[in-house]
Chain A
Amino acid sequence: MTDIRTLHDAVAELIHDGDTVAMEGFTHLIPFAAAHEVIRQGITDLTLVRMTPDVIYDQLIGAGLVRKLVFSWGGNPGVGSLHRFRDAVENGWPRPLEVDEHSHAGMANRYVAGASGLPFAVLRGYRGTALPDRTDTVSTVVCPFTGEELAAVAALNPDVTVIHAQRADRDGNVQLWGLTGVQKEAALAAKRVLVTVEELVDRLDSRPGAVVLPHWVVTAVARVPGGAHPSYAAGYSVRDNDFYQAWDPIARDRERFAAWIRENVLTTEGTSLR
């Protein structure tokens, strides 16, 4: 049975200095509260994996906790740049950031390989682009049946995958719906899985199109209502587009960013409830 924990305890037990951590959620269901708990606990030297680093990784990078970023699109969706990410890559502030950069198709397939227990995945991608010149996790493989040369991408197997979901039952079976992104693959690729949920229920009603992660592949669940804000949880909240726009001037300025983290993350109690 999955452990039902407070967010503080779940993060402390599952995520360690130096870990490779994937916090997934494609615009929807981004586990912001868990990332804020990582910042409060000062867990550092992380390799962060995520298709779209989004504001969640802008915050972790700006807080100086990230050594390396594995990703495929690093912008603030619909708004512009991720300024903390840019500052780290361009100026090494607050510390240098190594990057391993892919396309979305490549990243998605890297998780598929990880979830499948395979060393790599095959796709028709990257051809003619300069992306393979800057990474050692893209290569080619020749199809043994047709002779076609295809792209091969190395499997991703994070130490920990963190996701946010709508619901879990008291055994720790997890249910998420709406845009479910790459979360199933990211969870099944990982050694440990932490899920924050909007609510804990006695019984999970079946929902068409929902993804269910059985309790025996989930290491810990923490109840964190609103834990995806400013992202959202379909059925519970809507995307706070105003926040994403307001983030731009905050993240542009190092001191303003630091003040925002102090006031909104470091001095805020974890909102986790058992």
Chain B
Amino acid sequence: MTGWTPDELMTVNAARALATAKTCFVGIGLPSTAANLARRTIRPDLVLIYESGALGAKPTRLPLSIGDGELAETADAVVSVPEMFNYWLQAGRIDVGFLGAAQLDRHANINTTVVDRGPDRPEGRLPGAGGAPEIAANCGEVLIVLRHSTRNFVDRLDFVTSVGHGSGAGDRERLGLRGRGPVAVITDLGILRPDTGTAELVLTELHPDVTVEQARAATGWPLKTADAIGTTVPPTDAELSALRALKAA
């Protein structure tokens, strides 16, 4: 199989990031695609948890919404929404939270609420928080998948909907957030990870044929890079055919 799209690169790498996860709280869209791909490739036993109440969903095709009927029909257990958020998420039972974003800053904080469109225009309305603030706070760790552009990777969020690493290292502890927070941001250009000292996102890997300049140009703050930037392994035939079958089903 030759050739792949930037979105396919991003999704395949996002699925690989779940290689050791046991349980994953899945948002709809790119995170759901990646988590379902992981179940078909490197992590067949991954437990998918959808906020609509499905614990251990095993959909045969990609759901359009987090509440498609197949999620409940294939789940190990179906629970109410208050139970999902209180007993399962808040109590710290879920390893990985997988989120998207509209805006992301250098400390992996997320905005999905409103965007500032200038002094003469009203704020632009986004969908809002949904489950994300508590997913970001309470999962063992967080993965973020997001297309790389200066529109999404911003110097300053217009609104803080969900906390990644706050204003830097130590902030999660100060806020009493129990999980480790974001450990990787997977984009269509490469992978960013928080610096172990400062918690600022650093470019650690690029996808094949992507340059550091491209990543810098698509980031709204002066992007720091790792001393040695790795290259992600190209998608395999098995990964690409599983992904395409999933999207076609």
Contacts and interface: CB of A to CB of B under 8 A. Distances in A.
A214 B160 CA distance: 42
Contact of B129 (A85, A101, A128): A101
B64 A239 contact: yes
Given A101-B113, A179-B52, A109 B64 contact: no
Bin chain B's interface residue count. 35 or more
A75 B125 contact: no
Contact of A131 (B67, B72, B129): B129
Contacts of B133: 103, 105, 125-126, 129, 131
Given A77-B67, A86-B125, A239-B68, A103 B80 contact: no
> Dominant SS at the A interface?
loop
Interface of A: 26-28, 51-52, 71-75, 77-79, 81-82, 85-86, 89-91, 101-105, 108-109, 111-112, 123-131, 148-149, 178-182, 184-185, 209, 211, 232, 234, 238-239, 241, 244-245
Contacts of A123: 85-86, 90, 134
A70 B63 CA distance: 27
Interface in B46-79: 51-54, 63-69, 71-73, 78
B65 A27 contact: yes
Given A74-B128, A89-B125, A108 B113 contact: no
B128 A179 contact: no
Contacts of A178: 69, 72, 78
B122 A90 contact: yes
A77 B66 contact: yes
B81 A104 contact: yes
16 contacts: A28-B72, A75-B128, A78-B63, A90-B122, A90-B123, A105-B134, A123-B85, A127-B176, A129-B133, A129-B163, A181-B80, A181-B81, A182-B80, A182-B81, A234-B72, A239-B67
B132 interface: yes
B154 interface: no
Contact of B29 (A72, A73, A78): A78
Contact of B69 (A28, A52, A75, A90): A28
Nearest to A80: B127
Find the residue from B113, B128, B175, B178 having the highest chain A CB count within 10 A: B128
A184 B122 contact: no
